[in-house]
Amino acid sequence: MRPLPEHLLNSVRLSWHLTSWCNYSCEYCGVLIYHKRAKDGKPQAHAFDHYSVEQWLAAFAAFPQEQIYLKITGGEPFLDRANLRELLKGLTAMKRFTMRIDTNGTWDPAYFADLDKSRILLNISFHPNEIDMASFLPRVRAIRQAGFNIAMVNFVLAPENMEQCERSIAALEHEGFFVNVGSMMFSGVYGSKTDRSAREVEILDHYNPPIDMHYRLINPPTKGKLCYHPAISYYMLYDGSIETYCLGNWQNLFRDGLPALPREAVPCPKEKCDGCVEMYRSIVDEPLNTTPLSLYPLNEYVNEIHVHGRSQTWKHKLRKVPVLNRMLKPGFVMPAEDNSPPLLPPNAIKPALPTEPVFGKVESLIGSSYVEARSRDRLAFSGWAASREHGAPLKEIQITLEAKSMRVVRDFYTRPDIAAHFGRSEFAKSGWRTMVDLPALTNGEYQIKVMAIAPDGGSACLQDIPLRIVD
């Protein structure tokens, strides 16, 4: 038994996914996009569609802890600025709260002129494919001049912005901003991606200390390791659903109140850590973690990076992490995830293959005969595909709307369950997943087609999907 340190017994972290609305559509982001409230009045993935500001403030006031670190994220929290301003006014009046808000900075700080900003930390993300530096810098300058504390500007390193990274960092640091270089999660259009280039690893190595490299890139197994994160943390969604972080004991904050916190270290229930810095820095006896356990607000993370020193590389420290040393060698490829059941032995009875030369399924739509969406929404697709002749991976998955290309997927990930089902190891790398951004469409019905293409040019339609646009 490892009880929570006494100085944290009256403290809690709360990570709140306030919205899935976003005015950006970054290719590396897995967040669904809703640009405005629907004319039909149906609730969307936004906190203020489900409960009023007054109801949310009453719910927050009922938290019993004396020190509360609230992370507000999305989507883009500032899109509903009227409700957010009233919420922040109410929260800043509760002196127990310190807040971090994740935002892209595309809002007018003058609207928040009368807000107490002393306990608000901003994490502003810069997305070069959505806004250029010449437009971004005046925005963040204005937010800072309005009295907001911009603790960090986050640059997510992705294939499409690799060459702009170091120029962007130099421009922002020249303006006095701290810049975090974060590793791209394998999500959005990169949902099936499992490898990182040597250049990407080199840049991340330069800007991140060993513990961040270890958990963000290698993502080692953590199941069963003692961790304090569930002892001091909640995760909450826009509709009031809340869990003790990582434990899956979901209930509704408004109907059922707060789930119990164990208040001691618990064995990690997940195969691997989700990867947020406050999470892996809560793992008990982690040798790469050199800081005492805390609520770990954003300014502590920034201070820790400054202590390490931004001008040096970390290679001398990485000698203690053999897997990271391998990652720094040219040609390194991240190992594919593999937590599924083992393959059947080679002599097992193999089920008959489908008669089609190319086959598979669109699993994200199993049980649905059509997709309903709004104009310019984002849709998620996933499934598997293989070839009788070539096995897997295939050449690509093509997703079209009314015969116009929306996405081509060329990254595939390991699906041992598919290989085991057919008794054929050559079908292992058959999984794919991606997201597509719909164009501006008028209300009506459209047709989406998902095609699987084999290396020899053979193809098969995995599914024709009716799309209904409603507003």
Residue 347: pLDDT band with limits 50, 70, 90: low
Q: How many CA atoms lie within 13 A of 402 on its CB side?
A: 8
> pLDDT digits over 180-219, tens only?
999 988 999 999 998 888 999 999 988 888 899 999 888 8
CA gap 144, 177 in Å, rounded: 10
Q: What is the pLDDT of residue 37?
A: 66
Q: What is the pLDDT of residue 43?
A: 75
Residue ranges of domains in the chain: 6-327, 358-469
What angle is formed at CA 429 by the lines to CA 423 and CA 434, rounded to 5 degrees? 130
Q: What is the pLDDT of residue 335?
A: 47
Among 31-40, 175-184, 278-287, 367-376, whose mean pLDDT is lowest?
Answer: 31-40
DSSP 8-class letter at 19 = B
**What is the SS3 string spanning 277-342?**
HHHHCCECCCCCCCCCCCCCCHHHHHHHHHHHCCCCCCHHHHCCCHHHHHHCCCCCCCCCCCCCCC
Mean pLDDT of the chain: 89
Q: Are 13 and 233 in contact (CB under 8 A)?
A: yes
Q: For residue 327, is pLDDT > 50?
A: no
> pLDDT digits over 444-458, tens only?
999 999 999 999 999
Q: Does the predicted TM-score (pTM) go above 0.85?
A: yes
Q: What is the pLDDT of residue 36?
A: 63
Regarding beta strands 241-244 and 233-236, do their DSSP bridges make them parallel or antiparallel, or are they unpaired? antiparallel
Architecture of domain 6-327: Alpha-Beta Barrel (3.20)
Among 44-53, 84-93, 321-330, whose mean pLDDT is lowest?
Answer: 321-330
Tokens representing 440 are 């501006």
CA gap 375, 228 in Å, rounded: 43
> pLDDT digits over 112-151, tens only?
999 999 999 999 999 999 999 999 999 999 999 999 999 9
> What percentage of the chain has pLDDT greater than the value 90?
73
Tokens representing 332 are 């390194």
Q: Do domains 6-327 and 358-469 have the same CATH topology?
A: no
Among 21-25, 62-66, 386-390, whose mean pLDDT is lowest?
Answer: 21-25
Pick the CATH number of 358-469 from 2.60.40.10, 2.40.110.10, 3.40.50.720, 3.90.1010.10: 2.60.40.10
Among 253-257, 265-269, 307-311, whose mean pLDDT is lowest?
Answer: 307-311
Q: For residue 321, is pLDDT > 80?
A: no
Q: Give the pLDDT mean for 315-321.
A: 40
Q: What is the pLDDT of residue 34?
A: 65
Residue 349: pLDDT band with limits 50, 70, 90: low
Q: For residue 258, is pLDDT > 90?
A: yes
Collect all residues with Cβ–Cβ distance below 8 Å to 221 and sequence separation of at least 6. 271, 272
Q: For residue 330, is pLDDT > 70?
A: no
